[in-house]
């Protein structure tokens, strides 16, 4: 292993934690300040992409077992965002109306306000991260896909199914 490889591997592993913290800050302050769920999802996806490049796909996927559930994460994010957007229709409100409404008391945890835009940003974050993780997985292993396809085409005796 060359010295550059060691530095890149260490940097990729060290930057993963801070990138998750930056993403969390973007999600919770995204409605009030600059930032949102999309930016948070991209920050985490870029950190995961760095892990894929530095460590290789098999090691990155072993190190981050959540990547196996990327399709489910993306679907959960999409469903959460759609639910937050369309739920107000059940209460005869316009699409994407905020709960609690303006002037009503907002539940807080410290300085974090818990209301529907936060849920929407979390849904967008999950959707963006899930889709980007699926793309990274697909782009990282085209040779695995080709090998699996060739193996599937061969029969039990090793001869191809096409004659």
Task: Indicate if the pLDDT at residue 26 is higher than 60.
Answer: yes
Phi, psi (deg, nearest 5) at residue 160:
-65, 155
Task: Indicate if the pLDDT at residue 57 is higher than 60.
Answer: yes
Is residue 161 included in any domain, yes or no? no
Is residue 17 included in any domain, yes or no? yes
Is residue 149 included in any domain, yes or no? yes
| 150 burial level (CB within 10 Å; 0-12, 13-18, 19+) | exposed
Establish whether the linkage from the previous residue to 133 is cis, with ω within 30° of 0. no
More confident residue, 163 or 69: 69
Closest by Cα among 48, 69, 55 to 6: 55
- Sorting pLDDT into bands at 50, 70 and 90, what band is 163? very low
Output the six-digit token pair for 68. Answer: 């196996």
Strand partners, 107: 114
Is residue 63 included in any domain, yes or no? yes
Is residue 163 included in any domain, yes or no? no
* Predicted pLDDT at 21: 95
Q: Within its chain, how far is the Cα of 44 from the centroid?
A: 7
For the four alpha carbons of 25, 31, 37 and 43, in that order, the dihedral sign comes to: negative
- Of the chain, the end-to-end C-alpha distance in Å amounts to 45
Q: How many CA atoms lie within 13 A of 55 on its CB side?
A: 21
Dump the DSSP string for 96-153: T--SSPTTS--EEETTEEESHHHHHHHHHHHHHHHHHHHHHHHHH-HHHHHHHHHHHH
In terms of average pLDDT, the best of 16-30, 41-55, 98-112 is: 41-55
Is residue 53 included in any domain, yes or no? yes
How confident is the model over 88-133, as pLDDT tens digits? 999 999 998 888 877 888 888 887 777 888 889 999 999 999 999 9
Task: Indicate if the pLDDT at residue 59 is higher than 60.
Answer: yes
Q: Are 153 and 160 in contact (CB under 8 A)?
A: yes
How confident is the model over 101-113, as pLDDT tens digits? 778 888 888 877 7
Q: Are 132 and 45 in contact (CB under 8 A)?
A: yes
Note down the domain range covering 20. 3-156
Is residue 162 included in any domain, yes or no? no
Task: Indicate if the pLDDT at residue 159 is higher than 60.
Answer: no
Helices 116-140/37-55 angle, 10° precision: 20
Task: Indicate if the pLDDT at residue 22 is higher than 80.
Answer: yes
* Predicted pLDDT at 148: 56
Number of structural domains in the chain: 1
Is residue 79 included in any domain, yes or no? yes
* % of the chain at pLDDT higher than 90: 55
- Average pLDDT over the chain, rounded to whole? 84
């Amino acid at each position: 292993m060359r010295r550059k490889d060691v530095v890149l591997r260490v940097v990729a592993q060290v930057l993963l934690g801070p990138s998750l913290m930056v993403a969390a800050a973007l999600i919770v302050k995204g409605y009030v300040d600059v930032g949102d769920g999309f930016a948070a999802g991209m920050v985490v996806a870029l950190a995961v992409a760095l892990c894929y490049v530095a460590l290789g796909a098999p090691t990155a996927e072993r190190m981050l077992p959540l990547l196996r559930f990327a399709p489910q994460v993306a679907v959960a994010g999409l469903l959460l965002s759609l639910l937050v957007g369309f739920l107000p229709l059940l209460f005869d409100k316009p699409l994407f109306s905020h709960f609690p409404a303006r002037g009503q008391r907002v539940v807080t945890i410290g300085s974090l306000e818990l209301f529907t835009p936060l849920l929407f940003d979390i849904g967008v974050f999950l959707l963006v991260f899930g889709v980007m993780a699926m793309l990274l997985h697909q782009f990282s292993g085209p040779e695995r896909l080709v090998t699996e396809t060739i193996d599937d085409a061969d029969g039990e005796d090793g001869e191809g199914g096409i004659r």
